[in-house]
Amino acid sequence: MLKKAAVALAVLGLIAGAYLFFPGEAVEVTIPPGLTAAQTGRLLRNAGVVRSTKLFRVVASLSDVDRTLKPGTYHLQKGMWLPSLLDALEGGGSLGIKIVVPEGFSAKQIAERLEAKGVCPASGFEKYAGENRLEGYLFPTTYFFEPSSPEAVAHRMYEEFKKRVEPEYNAVNPKPNLTLNQVLTLASIVEREGVKSEEKPMIAAVYVNRMRLRMRLEADPTVQYALGYWKKGLSLDDLRTPSPYNTYVHFGLPPGPICNPGLTSFQAAMHPAKAEAIYFVADGTGGHRFAATLEEHLKNKQLYKHGLRLEKAKMAREKSGLP
């Protein structure tokens, strides 16, 4: 491999040598799976490992290394000699610890998963996320981490948010009436309420319509967040929880996101369905029935209760062995 890269450098001549024969300080670079040689080159250039993305791409192509570049975390040097760099990338680095952050996880849940996998202490991550108001800004996706500081891990997730979510908001023209944080807050409620992606714009519309009509949002997930844990079946005492996040008590959106929503929920909050619905109730299949009037909503609730009774009766029959 070194021979092939050396030949490629010879073709490029002394210019390449002038650029790359002065390695400097050590730097850690993580190359995610799926990057092209050009994207890898840009990442390495931004880290100071190479000075020219084009030169890296050309030499990688001439030496056939562009097809064998492996993702992972690499300990490199700024201004590395290109054959040594390509040899390291072809050999593969450490992918690190795989961390799957599901859409809708809170910072607390993320912290617990990070600690369980040995990446960083949960208390440190949760504290840092809280102090820097990162709830909602920790983008949910699959990461590969080396054991690291809570600050570094949170920063990586926030950088992913800036790359994946912020452009969605900035691209909209004219801008929505809600700030980025408000859209993200709405998206976090949609994330916790909606299971089916196709319903999320309708759920967003319900809450936008309630705000327009100066109704309380009365979103159960905001109460769960105020309680500090997710639970099914909120009690009357739960609904009276004295927290600014409790939308049964306070009007409007809560102060900030209640979880870390995925891109689909954010897009739904940015582009709610054009509908008059202000109510919704579960339909027993993971989806919801929507209504624009209280009368229609009460009928939908009866349908849901009827469905529950039928399901319970069916389970009882199966348990007893009756047809």
Q: Which amino acid is at 31?
A: I
Domains belonging to the chain, first-starting first, are 2-91 (3.30.1490.480), 97-164 (3.30.1490.480), 174-306 (no CATH)
pLDDT value at position 20?
42
**Residue pLDDT, tens place only, 262-317:** 999 999 999 999 999 999 999 888 899 999 999 999 999 998 887 777 667 666 66
Weakly modelled stretches of the chain, pLDDT under 50: 2-3, 10-21
Q: DSSP per residue over 196-210, as a string? A: SGGGHHHHHHHHHHH
Secondary structure class of 121 (helix, strand, coil): coil
Residues 6+ apart with CB under 8 A from 60: 37, 40, 41, 66, 69, 86
- Calculate the alpha carbon distances from 227 to 70, 217, 223, 234, 291 in Å: 44, 17, 6, 10, 28
pLDDT value at position 295?
94
CB neighbour burial string for 273-294, b if at least 16 within 10 angstroms, e if fewer: beeebbbbbbebeeebbbbeee
